[in-house]
Structure 1
């Protein structure tokens, strides 16, 4: 009997001397394959899979033998056929850190907020797939992508990497992008879990928020992104949450992520976010170990296992999670390696994201699109002769073509890496001249407002570019355009009322000059083909369809925290950030306080017009909403109808519960039907530990933005308690 059992076990691993190992059987589930392989590992091999260095040769970093220059590298285990994990920063494209891989270029996608401004999940998936394909072809099989933190404050330095202020829009778009990346047999993360909403002293501030408002806001954004994208890894954040480091938090990583949400992948730390070996209770992998005080998941973890403080079963669980995600995403069956890259196709995706993400905020007297009969256009400021601006830090991509780099300097060792402002050429000036045909286009760099105003005064139209550089590891002290650009725009607009402002920003900005201008375009950081996309919108080759993924406040006084948290404190100061808005982030805060934003969440104009009609609302366990959208104008264009919950069982509120994007020819109409995720109708009940829907009448509107009354209707919803 004993020999028979041994024989069966042997057959389970290898069916014959020449057959592939059992874990290479693709008919088995990722869980089965991971368990079969994990039990073949030695303890030394297990420990080798739970920590990793940055793969760079600079300063304290040393690149592992045979590894590429990249963010992180986990050596493979050849005897068992386990491939190495070559990890690349990739929020906006495959990153070549500081150009250490000579000649290695990648497609630079527009910023996360530009992607979210498209309100187009299919396009988000296409952009993710392009990044994933480039990663796979360059030999990288893990992408540090999938930013899903909510933009709670327009001064947040890293908001440009993230998506929006709303959990539904963020979750849908992040999930689509992650799924796109992983369609190329590459693991994507979702990051930074959680409440990494600020960059000042990001390792030491304590985000204080109760369970229910967290679950209804940032938590729900991550939950939806994970459900929809199935990321192979979750990256925990630098900051402290309710008194515990995020990468040590049993609440975040144990109770919520792995417990309530049943997450099966692995949790990796952010680079330098591990403070002790105690993190191993819930954290599965220490990343960028040179940035921590010690390789905590090396010798200290071995000692903890030897003493019984950490069980061997926990080590097996850590490793199994890694292997499971590798199997689930094809890293064994479709290994990454050199392959052709269709840069032209990926560039077309990048340009489409840029064009669809541009938001037409203002268009007085229909100045835009620009008429072909114009005699003279003055282009002013924003380094428009050089290129379009990109955001700084670990997401900085190196595309082919001209780049202009300004080292902003600083006082910290890593400022040479973080504080680099990069413009992607060609610039909007060249793109405008290409499309202007017989119109004369003149340029002023904007250094002297009086000179720029004089040029504008003698032009039919003035186009002023306003830029705001944002980067990782710092926040902006206010929401003005820096370096006197507000004064420049005001001077130009005073000289020529037919002034168009094109913004390249990483955040919402104030516009004290707004009423003096004729038109305003928000183009975010539009990526390597942003100049062409901007020109296409200005001249009407593309009908703008972008909608704001964040509210634009009038000033900082309208924010939940008018004073920027941590501003003026010494670096790495420990301080608390309170969240009085709770789950009422962005437009919900404006609805709660009654304040009027400069531009509402969801706002965006078109060169055509749309009408919505025939609203029908059906209740029950959730809300089913249907309505008709018609293009009532003279141009083909895309509309983004937004469905907002306006009251729940008699309680007034404002909450996005659905949206669609529909392209229509003039006179064309389409019927849209949407079903609300029941959690969007609920409040999280921490005592009952679930999403509670109260019985009663639920009112909705189909609107053009969060502040628009739109079409209204209601239906009765039944009471429910949903799992967390």
Structure 2
């Protein structure tokens, strides 16, 4: 089936670029065209000098731009997690974040950012939810549109991912997600549609998973008919890394580029398929045309003027990271005005995560920031000297973690004869070299072993545990003693990312003294199995500090809290709880952190808990503490932003993009396939839609969030589809409110949600000031997908339009007839 031509109106500049694209396409032979559609390495497509085409470079996002090498030698600004960005409820701020990322991409020679992720929070157990925005498709679409527009305003392409229904990590390479058409249209396709039609992204990434029996890299109906045909998408469609499985199936299914290279189902295999009559060359031409159009847009095709000839003004990355973080923090509880902190008081800061901050999620979203400001750093700088006391209290890391604090490491690459080929930086004990990431002078052909070597200076005396994450032969030496020299087998056979996402295995125990430096070395013999189509060097030196008696640590924290005016406890998840590659099995905080909060709250009624997680966790102590502040994964400036908010220099600006509640009450929890299939039996009822349908009250509802002032909702009016809400700042200080508009059928309809988010707007006002907020109701708010006629159907009747502070806190309502 031929692809439907894009219907988007063309500007004269678009037409001029198209002419260059067609001329370049006409000068290419079959082999060159097939080669262009296959990655030449991990991150790039080949240059074709005969048509003036430079190599197209891609890089992971979404919170920073890592570039083509997994190294700290060229650090990247690290913004807060996507859940944090969505919690700002501010598409304009998302746009500004995109501009910064485009600036970073251009600095690193990157043409396309592999972001944003706009899959939905179907279940809180999804392990990668920190990398997606929300449970709500409308909010996701609005934030994603701002992000894409911002990145592309800087002349850098985006790839909106993962198309589609890639909403969990379990068996993500093989799972068949069974989703009815209405659910697909109203939920999972909706944010992609909003972004494609509203922001014209230059790329889409198709997912690993299968939808209704067809793998997404071959899903011609969703790609050609819906994405390109109905929505008018004219960008390039790239596979998730290693997702493409069939040459003819992929190209016939609308896949333009198979990544990574050089071993893909395209290239020589595609040219051969054309010559053998399995694939029409016209299909290859369509894919090449899309790639050349992208190249023209980003300015690497000779003769074509790029879309952006003058990049936006430079953005201060540290300042934007700090602003985004504080605007994302969600204050879900604040009894007796516990926050902001009272001036001149004493503070007990408690928690391992307050000292060793977790600022970003694990997996492909990882970048190396130029600095990290922990809560301890930020509050120490902000508070008067001598007013802060710190205690560990409880460590969320209950197993070995990546060697980091106290380690000074480098990677030494050798050939089979032991000769040094080159050395590379190692900011932590984690080595992850994909494709061309290898240090200068090192080739895959010559590389035999990598030694991660250096020193470790402990900050605690006692038994330190060292371990290994990875597959293959390893030798571990600590302080001159060889503790392990053997082959480590995979825990799960057939997982190509086992070395990156598996659990570390303890291999050494060494008695060390605080402040006394020792030498450490982990040597790995490298192999490149044929079953893995990309060359990856991945392994980890892991470490765990001496484990003190947890009760003793909690007792120390209790004593610190007892004498302080305020106790701030920072609790967190770990990379073994939230990361790419696996789903969660529960929503509990790891370790003894819940016990810690209970104990501190028992002695200090002015206890504030800061929750450092990318997605929901259970808070069994939430009614026993004075305040709860959700900080997400706050990026490199998280500690400085936390000080801004706790001291009252700025108010927390966030609202929940996802419902928080205990797992036992959560309506949708299934993420594990049965017999290879995961059935979305809940249909359109996920998130707050499901909570309302089940009649259950969550811990904190969708849209909830407090500031440092109060708001009165004075009136609501609707004229046509225009909603006008008057709000007044009823508090004593300036503030920002997110006015949320919800729409639902006036009479109960079992086929539709009780209500859904139909619009929102942020507004600022001084104390006593009233402001009118105008929100347009989109037509789609009144439509459902008719599965019989396969069209959007406008549902006439009476609707309740409500405005308020959350899905559960609706202040003013009006009924309309349409």
TM-score (norm 1): 0.85
1:275 and 2:238 matched: no
1:248 and 2:218 matched: yes
Work out which of the residue numbers 610, 613, 621 in structure 2 matches 1:502: 610
Match of 2:723 in 1: 625
Match of 1:456 in 2: 561
Work out which of the residue numbers 355, 358, 375 in structure 2 matches 1:385: 355
Please show how residues 219-368 of structure 1 align to structure 2 within 5 Å: 219-277=189-247, 278-289=249-260, 295-332=264-301, 345-368=316-339
Deviations 1:478-511 (A, max 9, x none): 1111122112211211222211000110111110
Contact 2:798 2:816 in 1 (8 A): yes
Match of 1:531 in 2: 639
Unpaired runs of 5+ in structure 1? 1-24, 56-71, 402-424, 567-572, 718-724
Per the TM alignment, residue 229 of structure 1 is displaced from its structure 2 partner at its CA by 2.1
Work out which of the residue numbers 694, 707, 726 in structure 2 matches 1:593: 694
Contact 2:197 2:232 in 1 (8 A): no
Work out which of the residue numbers 179, 189, 193 in structure 1 matches 2:149: 179
Contact 2:209 2:215 in 1 (8 A): yes
Match of 1:18 in 2: none
Distance in structure 2 (CA, Å) of the matches to 1:491 and 1:343: 48
Match of 1:602 in 2: 703
Distance in structure 2 (CA, Å) of the matches to 1:576 and 1:509: 27
Deviations 1:684-722 (A, max 9, x none): 1133222111221121100110112321112121xxxxx
Higher RCO structure (Cα 8 Å, ≥6 apart): 2
Work out which of the residue numbers 384, 389, 392 in structure 2 matches 1:437: 384
1:397 and 2:344 matched: no
Q: Give secondary structure in 2 for the equivalent of 1:85.
A: coil
Contact 1:175 1:227 in 2 (8 A): no
CA separation of 1:232/1:574 partners in 2, compared to 1, >3 Å: closer, same or farther? farther
CA separation of 1:690/1:648 partners in 2, compared to 1, >3 Å: closer, same or farther? farther
Contact 1:543 1:636 in 2 (8 A): no
Q: Give secondary structure in 1 for the equivalent of 2:325.
A: helix
Report how many residues are paired: 640
Q: Give secondary structure in 2 for the equivalent of 1:279.
A: helix
Contact 1:247 1:279 in 2 (8 A): yes
Q: Give secondary structure in 2 for the equivalent of 1:253.
A: helix
Deviations 1:270-322 (A, max 9, x none): 0011111111112333433459xx62112332222113221111011001111
Distance in structure 1 (CA, Å) of the matches to 2:19 and 2:196: 21
Q: Give secondary structure in 2 for the equivalent of 1:491.
A: helix
Deviations 1:590-632 (A, max 9, x none): 111111111000000010011122211133xxx2211112111
CA separation of 1:708/1:445 partners in 2, compared to 1, >3 Å: closer, same or farther? same
1:635 and 2:733 matched: yes
Work out which of the residue numbers 157, 161, 166 in structure 2 matches 1:196: 166
Q: Which has the higher strand share?
A: 2
TM-score (norm 2): 0.75
1:514 and 2:485 matched: no
CA separation of 1:266/1:558 partners in 2, compared to 1, >3 Å: closer, same or farther? same
Which is further off, 475-484 or 88-97?
88-97
Q: Give secondary structure in 2 for the equivalent of 1:348.
A: helix
Match of 2:672 in 1: 565
Work out which of the residue numbers 22, 29, 38 in structure 2 matches 1:42: 29
Which is further off, 41-50 or 86-95?
41-50
Work out which of the residue numbers 645, 648, 651 in structure 1 matches 2:743: 645
Match of 1:714 in 2: 815
Per the TM alignment, residue 251 of structure 1 is displaced from its structure 2 partner at its CA by 2.7
Distance in structure 1 (CA, Å) of the matches to 2:781 and 2:312: 40
Contact 1:373 1:439 in 2 (8 A): no
Deviations 1:428-485 (A, max 9, x none): 1121122222561011112322221222112111111011131111111111111221
Q: Give secondary structure in 2 for the equivalent of 1:356.
A: helix
Unpaired runs of 5+ in structure 2? 1-11, 395-552
Work out which of the residue numbers 789, 798, 801 in structure 2 matches 1:700: 801
Match of 2:46 in 1: 75
Per the TM alignment, residue 340 of structure 1 is displaced from its structure 2 partner at its CA by 12
Contact 1:168 1:221 in 2 (8 A): yes
Per the TM alignment, residue 252 of structure 1 is displaced from its structure 2 partner at its CA by 2.0
CA separation of 1:456/1:180 partners in 2, compared to 1, >3 Å: closer, same or farther? same
Contact 1:486 1:512 in 2 (8 A): yes
CA separation of 1:335/1:227 partners in 2, compared to 1, >3 Å: closer, same or farther? closer
CA separation of 1:354/1:86 partners in 2, compared to 1, >3 Å: closer, same or farther? same
Distance in structure 1 (CA, Å) of the matches to 2:748 and 2:666: 27
Contact 1:181 1:188 in 2 (8 A): yes
Work out which of the residue numbers 572, 579, 582 in structure 2 matches 1:471: 579
Per the TM alignment, residue 580 of structure 1 is displaced from its structure 2 partner at its CA by 2.5
1:90 and 2:61 matched: yes
Distance in structure 2 (CA, Å) of the matches to 1:650 and 1:474: 38
Match of 2:658 in 1: 550
Per the TM alignment, residue 202 of structure 1 is displaced from its structure 2 partner at its CA by 0.8
